[in-house]
Each structure stands twice: as C-alpha cells, then as structure tokens.
Amino acid sequence: MGYTYRIIFAFGVAGLLIAAGIFLHDGRAITLAIPFLVYVAVLVTQPEPTADFTGLTVTRQLDVPRIPVTAATTVTLIVRNSGRPIAWLGIIDSIPADVHADPDAVTTWLGPLPTGETAEISYTVHAARGRHEFSNAQLEIWSRAGTGPIVETAAASAHLLVVPEWQRLKKIEIRPRRTRVYSGVIRADMGGTGIDFFGSRAYVRGDNIRRINWRAYARTGKLIITEYEQERIADVNVILDARAAANSEPELFERGVSAAASVADLFLSQGNRVGLLIYGDVLNWTYPSFGTGQRERILDALAAATLGDKPVFADLRYIPARLFPAQSQLVVISPLAGEKDIEVFGILRARGYHIILISPDPISHWRTELGGPDTPSVAAAVRIMRLKRRILTSALARIGVAVVDWNTDDSLLTTVNWALARRSGRVR
Amino acid sequence: MNWVATGAFSGGLGIIAVLGFVHGHPIMGGTAVLLGVVWNIVVWTNHGRERTLSGLIVVSAVVSYFALYMEVGVYFVLGAVTLIVIGWEAGLSAREIAPFSKPAQRAFMRSRIPMLTAIAVIGFGVGAVISAVRLHLNFGIALLLSALALVLLVAFLIAVRPGRNNQ
C-alpha cells in the first residue's frame, strides 16, 4: 500500500470521526480524529522518493554458466549507482522456476546506496536439467524518511545451462557393416593389421614379410600370410525419443537423456564420429563429429531437450534416416510407444543400419512410482503390461535389433554391460 | 517491524481493554481484546494483511470512540488511538520490507523511528491540548465547511508533496 493511499485512508478515518462528531454534536469524536490528522500531516510533509532509476546499472554474473545437474553455481547480481544518492534501495532478485537457491541464501538487499557505490547479492543455486533464463530484478526506492517505495523492474539477464548427468560406460561392442578409414576399436570385418586373428592367405608380392606364418611355411612349403581383423572407427548416431506418448513420466525421460549422454560419451571416447537426433518436440539434429568438443555440443543439445506431443511425431516413421550414413550404427533410446515403432525399426534394419535399442522400462518405473504392496490387481496389471512389452522386444530381437531392456532402478552401466558387452557374434 | 506493529497496536488496544474492564464495560474490553488477537493473527500469519489491517483500524477507531463516550479517560484513549495509528503504519511497512533480510529490516526500521516518534508525540500532544482547552464548537454549517476546507488542504498538500515525481 503506497503512501498516498495511506494518507487517503487515514484521512478517511479522521473524516468519519469528524462527521460522527458533527452529526452527534459530540466534540470528543473530533478529538479522536487528531492522531489521524497528525499522521496525515506528518506524511504529507515527507518527501516522496524520486523515481530516478537511470543512474542504476544492473549486471548479473554466473560463476559457471554451464554445470552438470549435480553441481551448483554462484549467481552474483551487482547494482551500481552512478546517479544521485539513494536513501534506501531495495533489490529483490527473481529466480527462475526449477532453479533452487540454497536454504540460507539471501536473494535480496536493502540499504542506502550513495553515488559511485555498488550493492551486491551473491548466492548459490542448483537446478534441474535444462536451459534456465535469469531475467529481471526488482528495484525499490524509499525516501530518507522511509516513504515509498517506487518500484521498477530492471533487466539482468543471464543463462544457466544445466547438462544431464551421465555415467562412464565400459565397452559396448558394435559391429556396423561400414566403418571409416581411420583406426579405432570397432572390428571392421576386414583383414589387415590388428589384434584378433582374421584369416590366412597366400603371400603376394608387396606383403610385409614380418606377417609370414613361418610355421605354416614349414608344414606346407608355401608362403602364408596371417591376417588380423582391422579395427576402425565408425559412425554412431544416437536417437533420443522425446515423444510424450512414449515417455509416460518426465522422470523416465530424464533417465533416457542421461542414457543418451552416457552412450554418446562412450562412443566419442572410443574415437568414433557421433551425432545426436532428438525426436519429439522438434527434430533436433546435432551434426556428427569427433572428440570432446562434440561431447559438449551433444550435452548442450541434451540439456535443452524437452518432451513433445506433436501429432506429426506421434510415431517414429519420420526419423530422417538420410541423415545417417548408410549401414552405420544407430543407438536408439526409447521406452517404445507401441507396435508402430516396430515397423520403423524394421525399415531401418532393412536399409542396413545396425541398431541398439536402450529402452528405459516404463513398467518397472510405474510400479516404483505407484508404491504400496503387490495387490492381485496390481500384479495382474504389471503382468499384462510386461507381456505386451515382451512381445514388442521379442519382435525387435527377431529383426536383429539388440535390445537393452533397462529397469531404471538399476544402473545403466550394469544393465548395458550385462546385455551388450558380452554379446558375441555379429547381428546381421 | 512486526514487533513494533504488534507492540504499538496491541498496546493501544490493551489500554482500551483495561479501561473497559476497570470501568465496568466488559463488552468494550472484550471487543478490544478480540481486535488485538485478530491483529496479531493477521500480522504474524501474513494473511490478507493490507485490507484486514486497514479494516481493523476503522473498527478500533469506533471502539475508541465508544470508550470516550463511556467517559473512561480521554487522555488514555487518546494515547491508545495514537499507538494504534503507529501500529498500523508499522504493520503496513513491515509487509513492504518483509522480503529483505532481518538486519536490513532493523536498519530500515531505525530510520523510521523519528517519523513514528513525531506522529506519537504530536498526535497525542495536540489531542491532549485540544481536550484540555475545551474549544467551543457550533455544530453547524460552519464546522462542515471547515472540515471540507481541511479535505481540500490535504488534497493540495498531497499534490505538492516535495520530491514528487510523476514519471
């Protein structure tokens, strides 16, 4: 309530008392109005604060503008007064939703601010995954006597990017049909230099004589060359299913985002060329590349990933397969939405892509969220849903998709190691 | 600020309550106690504060008038009303600075002490002098016009308040 309103209200009460005194012919009521009138008189003689915000410069700094989910950063809001002295300046910083300040954090400031001085608010925040926009701070000015305040909103924007948490996975063995020419850790199904035995053949001019198998020569009298399987790098594209229809719970999607980050980190650390497609709200494509820079780009894209429920992306049929090199490796992170998804996997397999599906299990997640005992009806529901899911995953396995059915209560590292690291042979 | 608001407003209503019970007007005393309880609930729970506080000051003014009407001691009632006004002012200010830290609130409150003291001293002093002088009033058109002139004076003073900036 501003001071003008207080004056009017107090004067109104005084007026009521005076009116009562006049109508009741009782001077005591008028006497009672005196404190209210004095209050009004004192207030009207107080100077109002001057609404001069032009001399104030508001800047915001983030100690680290890009942090993982588990980390925190310090936000500093600095207000500098290069104009007239301000008797009382109040600063109230606004924190975006999903950003949480420490419980003992002070996000306000109140005090006098002479010319040339600065006021500073500093506090530590942590936030959920995503891109968070710090926008405005509220400034309030009071006069020396405390009248006011005059309120102004000052722009003080800054962006905080919170990237998803990821796990360091161990080896995931992939064997795409086509690899790139550079050496790496992916078996290329081609003879040459390597570690694992690939085959032997007759010596031809130009072969390295150090690769001649002398024992075979002693037995047969012919020069035989031992070949090892070449190990190269490959194109790996990670597809994150961000459809709201598939991710029944936001938490399930968060697990998927973490899984995508973990998988991308693993393949990049092996030297592969990795890209990312987020399929749901929009087609968010991170062009494939190598190295730690690409890992950061993928983490940035995953940080901004949101669930979408656009009808055009209701099923996976609009995955732009032409973006992916032919016969390369795809890693799809999806809880699966239904039978229609199976058809899309079939089409991709028919085009020669090798596919690993990491599927966060919505049923176990739902069961954990539901809590409580396993009543007969709950048990029956879980059993029916599991049967439906088993049908889907079995169909995928039949068309050659390596399926990792991930109970999100378990570690991704453990699940992937168990499901894929020991996978031997080649899925064609 | 909340403590100042509570102390002043409750003190004012406490005076009226004591006067009511001492002079054999338990309804008046009880009403004052009830008002004090409601005030404290509003101040400390921050519920519907501005309107409720302003509503309570009107009711308190009416109860104070009844106290005067019952002739329970004009100076005491005048002091009580002065405290009520100060409590109301402090209660409204407390809400404005509630988002800030406690040390900052205390510093801000210290800056308000001269103004609140001026209201208390002048309000009670002028009221007491006028009560003592016992001016003769004619309750007629002249008094009504005087009140109207007072309204215009206050409106004029609001309009020409120093430091006013219409931006």
Mean pLDDT of chain A: 86
CB contact under 8 A, A31 and B130: yes
Q: Which amino acid is at A392?
A: L
Taking CA–CA distances from A4, the nearest residue in chain B reads: B158
pLDDT range class, residue B161, cuts 50, 70, 90: low
How is residue A420 annotated by DSSP? Answer: I
Mean pLDDT for A177-181 is: 74
Q: Is the pLDDT of residue A68 over 80?
A: yes
Radius of gyration of the CA atoms of chain B, in A:
18
Q: Would you state the pLDDT for residue A387?
A: 93
Dump pLDDT digits (tens) for A240-271: 999 998 888 888 999 999 999 999 999 999 88
pLDDT range class, residue A225, cuts 50, 70, 90: confident
Q: Would you state the pLDDT for residue A101?
A: 92
Dump pLDDT digits (tens) for A353-390: 999 999 999 888 888 878 777 788 888 988 999 999 99
Dump pLDDT digits (tens) for A86-140: 888 999 999 998 899 988 888 999 999 999 999 999 999 999 999 999 989 999 9
Q: Would you state the pLDDT for residue B162?
A: 57
ipTM: 0.85
B80: its two tokens = 């009580």
pLDDT range class, residue A426, cuts 50, 70, 90: very low
Token pair 């309120």 in the structure block, residue: A151
Q: What percent of chain B has pLDDT over 70?
A: 88
> Which residues in A143-182 belong to E strands, given as ranges?
150-163
Q: Which pairs with CB-CB distance under 8 Å and at least 24 residues apart come from A280-288?
A: A280/A240, A280/A241, A280/A242, A280/A243, A280/A244, A280/A305, A280/A306, A280/A307, A280/A308, A280/A310, A280/A313, A281/A242, A281/A306, A281/A307, A281/A308, A281/A310, A281/A313, A282/A308, A283/A318, A283/A320, A285/A320, A285/A323, A288/A235, A288/A237
Considering only CB atoms, which chain A residues are within 8 Å of B149? none
Considering only CB atoms, which chain A residues are within 8 Å of B137? 27, 30
CB contact under 8 A, A109 and B118: no
CB contact under 8 A, A51 and B167: yes
Helix (H, G, I), strand (E, B) or coil at A286: strand
CB contact under 8 A, A16 and B58: yes
Dump pLDDT digits (tens) for A313-325: 888 888 998 899 8
State how far Cα A81 lies from the chain centre. Answer: 37
Print the SS3 string covering B5-38. HHHHHHHHHHHHHHHHHHCCCHHHHHHHHHHHHH
HSE toward the beta carbon, residue A118, CA cutoff 13 A:
12
Helix (H, G, I), strand (E, B) or coil at B46: coil
Residue of A110, A123, A139, A151 for testing the chain B interface, max B β-carbons within 10 Å? A110
Sign of CA dihedral A397, A403, A407, A413: positive
Measure CB to CB from residue B137 to each of A27, A34, A46 and give the nearest one: A27
Please state, in angstroms and rounded to a whole number, the distance separating the CA atoms of residues A257 and A305. 8
Q: Comparing A418 with A330, which gets the higher pLDDT?
A: A330
pLDDT range class, residue A422, cuts 50, 70, 90: low
Q: Give the gap in angstroms from C-alpha A93 to the nearest C-alpha of chain B.
A: 10
For residues A347-373, b (16+ Cβ closer than 10 Å) or e, as one string? ebbeeebbbbbbbbbbbbbebeeeeee
Q: Which amino acid is at A328?
A: S
Q: Are A157 and A113 in contact (CB under 8 A)?
A: no
Q: Give the gap in angstroms from C-alpha B153 to the nearest C-alpha of chain A.
A: 10
CB contact under 8 A, A35 and B81: yes
Dump pLDDT digits (tens) for A148-170: 788 889 999 999 999 998 888 88
Considering only CB atoms, which chain A residues are within 8 Å of B68? 28-29, 31-32
Token pair 């983490």 in the structure block, residue: A299
Q: Residues of B numbered 38-67 whose beta carbons fall under 8 angstroms of chain A's beta carbons: which are they?
A: 50, 54, 57-58, 61, 64-65
Between A7-16, A142-151, A186-195, A285-294, the lowest mean confidence (pLDDT) is in A186-195
Q: Give the gap in angstroms from C-alpha B98 to the nearest C-alpha of chain A.
A: 10
CB contact under 8 A, B130 and A49: no
State how far Cα B165 lies from the chain centre. Answer: 28
Mean pLDDT for A12-24 is: 84
Helix (H, G, I), strand (E, B) or coil at A399: coil
Most confident of A13-22, A25-34, A100-109, B136-145: A100-109
Q: Would you state the pLDDT for residue B165?
A: 45
- Distances A78 to A66, A154, A252 between C-alpha atoms, Å: 20, 12, 39
Q: Give the gap in angstroms from C-alpha B122 to the nearest C-alpha of chain A.
A: 7
Considering only CB atoms, which chain A residues are within 8 Å of B163? 47-50, 143
Q: Would you state the pLDDT for residue B163?
A: 53
Measure CB to CB from residue B163 to each of A7, A30, A47 and give the nearest one: A47
Question: Who's near A38: CB < 8 A, 6+ residues apart?
Answer: B119, B122, B123, B126, B127
How is residue A149 annotated by DSSP? Answer: -
Please state, in angstroms and rounded to a whole number, the distance separating the CA atoms of residues A61 and A66. 12
Helix (H, G, I), strand (E, B) or coil at A127: strand
Q: Residue B64: name the closest of B90, B87, B32, B86 by CA.
A: B32
CB contact under 8 A, B57 and A16: no
HSE toward the beta carbon, residue B79, CA cutoff 13 A:
10
CB contact under 8 A, A145 and B114: yes
Dump pLDDT digits (tens) for B83-109: 999 988 888 888 888 889 889 988 888
Q: Are A79 and A112 in contact (CB under 8 A)?
A: no
Token pair 């309103």 in the structure block, residue: A5
Measure CB to CB from residue B154 to each of A11, A42, A48 and give the nearest one: A11
Q: Which pairs with CB-CB distance under 8 Å and at least 24 residues apart come from A248-253?
A: A248/A335, A248/A362, A248/A366, A249/A362, A249/A365, A249/A366, A249/A369, A250/A307, A251/A365, A251/A369, A252/A335, A252/A360, A252/A362, A252/A365, A252/A408, A253/A307
Question: Who's near B142: CB < 8 A, 6+ residues apart?
Answer: none
Mean pLDDT for A52-77 is: 92
Considering only CB atoms, which chain A residues are within 8 Å of B77? 32
Dump pLDDT digits (tens) for A70-84: 999 999 999 999 988
CB contact under 8 A, A42 and B122: yes
Mean pLDDT for A278-302 is: 92
- Distances A211 to A192, A201, A208, A222 between C-alpha atoms, Å: 10, 11, 6, 14
CATH number of the domain located at residue range(s) A235-421 in this protein: 3.40.50.410
Taking CA–CA distances from A151, the nearest residue in chain B reads: B96
Instruction: Classify burial at A401, counting beta carbons within 10 Å of its beta carbon; exposed 0-12, middle 13-18, buried 19 or more.
Output: buried
Q: Would you state the pLDDT for residue B82?
A: 92
Q: Give the gap in angstroms from C-alpha B11 to the nearest C-alpha of chain A.
A: 16
Q: Is the pLDDT of residue A273 over 60?
A: yes
Question: Who's near A199: CB < 8 A, 6+ residues apart?
Answer: A191, A227
Q: Give the gap in angstroms from C-alpha B157 to the nearest C-alpha of chain A.
A: 6
A138: its two tokens = 């509220």
CATH 2.60.40.680 fits A56-163, yes or no: yes
Dump pLDDT digits (tens) for A396-415: 999 989 999 898 888 888 88
Measure CB to CB from residue A15 to each of B65, B137, B151 and give the nearest one: B151
Helix (H, G, I), strand (E, B) or coil at A318: helix
Read out DSSP for A73-126? EEEEEEEEE-SS-EEEEEEEE---TTEEE-TT---EEEEEE-TT-EEEEEEEEE
